Homo-oligomer: A and B are copies of this chain.
Amino acid sequence: MSSQSLFKALADPTRREILRLLRSGSMDAGEISAEFTITKASLSHHFNLLKQAELVRTERRGQHIVYSLNTTVLQDAASILIDLINPADKETTDVPQDR
């Protein structure tokens, strides 16, 4: 939601690795934790920040909680960065035309 929670969430290497793991499909908390050496409690904290930023969605499946990527928000983050590249004083929002 806020770009602050979004960029905060992206700032930690563990969280970026979690996102990378989720590229190839949903994983539950246990499967994700198998890829790290930190405790499940610490990972749960990272999950919370990723959820706050809406970078991941969760779904309970029995005793497991399944995490999946929210690619829309990743796209939003990329757009914010691209917007930083363009000069602030552009006159129109038109699509540029070849001449």
Interface residue ranges, A against B (CB under 8 Å): 3-4, 7-8, 10-11, 13, 16, 19-20, 23-25, 69, 71, 74-75, 77-78, 81-82, 84-89
Copy count, this protein chain:
2
CB <8 Å contact, A84 and B20:
yes
Residue of B with least CB distance to A16: B7
Which of B75, B81, B89 contacts A77 (CB under 8 A)? Answer: B81
Rounded to whole angstroms, the CA-CA distance of A81 and B74 in the bound complex is 6
Question: Within the assembled complex, what's the spacing in Å between the Cα atoms of A71 and B86?
Answer: 9
A74 is contacted by which of B24, B75, B84, B89 (Cβ under 8 Å)? B84
User: Contacts of A88 on B, CB cut-off 8 Å?
Assistant: 20, 23-24
